[in-house]
Amino acid sequence: MEWHSLGIDEVYRQTGSNAAGLDDHAVQQKLNEIGKNELISKKKLSPLLIFLKQFVDVMILVLVVAAIISAIIGEVSDTIVIIVIIVLNAVIGFVQEYRAEKAMEALKKMAAPNTLVIRNNKKKHVPTSNLVPGDIVLLEAGNSVPADLRLFESASIRINEASLTGESNAVDKKTEALEVKDLSLGDRVNMAYKGTQVIHGHGKGIVIATGMQTELGKIAGMLDKAESVTPLQKRLAQFSKRLTVIVIALCIVFFFVGYQRGEELNRMLLTAISLAVAAIPEALPAVVTISLALGARRMMKRKVLIRKLYAVETLGSVTYICT
């Protein structure tokens, strides 16, 4: 629906509302049909799953295999060292990710819980999560826009839409219907979008979309579906695979050369396995994780919250941030 091109009467008709706002029965019916005005994220992982997730890495899996082989051939000290490194790596990654998740939850709870609306021809504060299409919302300077709105009353209202469009300058809003239907979000000057900030003036708007149906919700949905791998993760995965192939090839060559020279079969087998374990850089994952954790700690002092450790390296690769 191209809401920006519709007149206010048509918007009322499409949303089933009017100048007096929705009544309680209509609100409840819409809540049952559409759901709450909330952004739905992926199912949260339990602390146990967050911890186990730290082991899903090619290099860590190689170390696990090395630890098992070391235990089989009787190298107890090597086995203990490798296990300690694996657990240390997992603990550091778990602590960083778990703390970041808790901090993100705390930030979400700080969001404005109530919105001033007109319902039954009366002004009232309602939980932002209970907004539905057709609600009439009153905005003023300092407010965060609680849902996608079609503005119909404006007193010099200006909205900062940088979080949605990237435009650093606040936008002067209008109320008249726009003739051009195919407009970008930044050019729809009679609309206000969820998550943007009112910095000047005041006005009124009709809710036309809530929750995941808002423009912000659509972006959140795409981000939830996206699975990204950082450059460092790619390089480490490639290194681990190449190292594994090279080590296996050398061990096979070493085993057959020794066997052809008349060495005992069992002795050559144990020697080849020992060579494979010795060739694996057990400390590499721990060194990488500790380095990233120190970087995350330094960034936290600068008010930057890092959810995933590998994001530290990715952010460090950025040369320009376009806004």
Q: Smallest Cα–Cα separation from 203: which of 171, 157, 172, 161? A: 157
Query: What percent of the chain is predicted at pLDDT more than 90?
Result: 33
Least confident of 16-30, 120-134, 156-170, 198-212: 156-170
Q: Could you tell me which of 44, 24, 27 has the C-alpha nearest to residue 36? A: 27
Kindly list the domain boundaries of the chain, sorted by start residue. Answer: 3-37+131-222, 47-107+228-316
Integer distance in angstroms from the first to the last C-alpha of the chain? 28
pLDDT at residue number 94: 86
Q: Strands (DSSP E) along the chain, which ranges?
A: 114-119, 122-127, 136-140, 148-160, 171-172, 191-192, 197-209
- pLDDT tens for each residue of 189-220: 999 999 899 999 999 999 999 988 999 888 87
Q: Is the pLDDT of residue 316 over 80?
A: no
The residue with tokens 């990233």 is 292
pLDDT, tens only, 92-127: 888 877 877 776 666 565 555 899 999 999 999 999
Compute how many other C-beta atoms are within 10 angstroms of the C-beta atom of residue 107. 10
Q: Is the pLDDT of residue 138 over 60?
A: yes
Nearest CA to 202 among 123, 140, 116? 140
Please determine, for residue 11, whether its predicted confidence score (pLDDT) is greater than 90.
yes
Confidence check: pLDDT of 19 > 60: yes
Kindly write down the DSSP assignment for every residue of 176-199, as one continuous string. Answer: SPPS-SS--GGG-TTEE-TT-EEE
User: Which pLDDT tens digit goes with each residue over 269-303?
Assistant: 777 777 777 777 767 777 887 888 888 888 778 77
| Beta strands, E only, 161-301 | 171-172, 191-192, 197-209
Q: Which residues are 148's β-sheet partners?
A: 209
pLDDT of residue 104: 64
HSE (side-chain half, CA atoms, 13 Å) at 85:
23
Average pLDDT over residues 150-157: 94
Q: Which of 207, 163, 194 lies closest to 12 in space, CA to CA?
A: 207
Q: How large is the average pLDDT for residues 148-177?
A: 90
- What's the fold here for domain 3-37+131-222? 2.70.150
pLDDT per position as a tens digit, 25-58: 999 999 999 999 988 766 677 888 888 888 887 7
Region 164-171 average pLDDT: 84
- Asked if the model's pLDDT at residue 226 lies above 60, the reply is no
pLDDT, residue 228, reads 63
Q: Mapping DSSP to helix (H, G, I), strand (E, B) and coil, where does residue 207 land?
A: strand
What is the arithmetic mean of pLDDT over 131-154? 94
Question: In this structure, what DSSP letter does residue 214 have?
Answer: S
pLDDT of residue 181 exceeding 90, the answer is: no
Which residues face 171 on adjacent strands? Answer: 159
Neighbour-count burial for 148-187, b at 16+ CB within 10 Å, e otherwise: bbbbbebeebbbbbeebbeeeebbebebebbeeeeeeeee
Residues 60-100: pLDDT tens digits? Answer: 887 888 788 778 877 788 788 888 888 888 888 888 778 77
CB atoms within 10 A of CB 10: 13
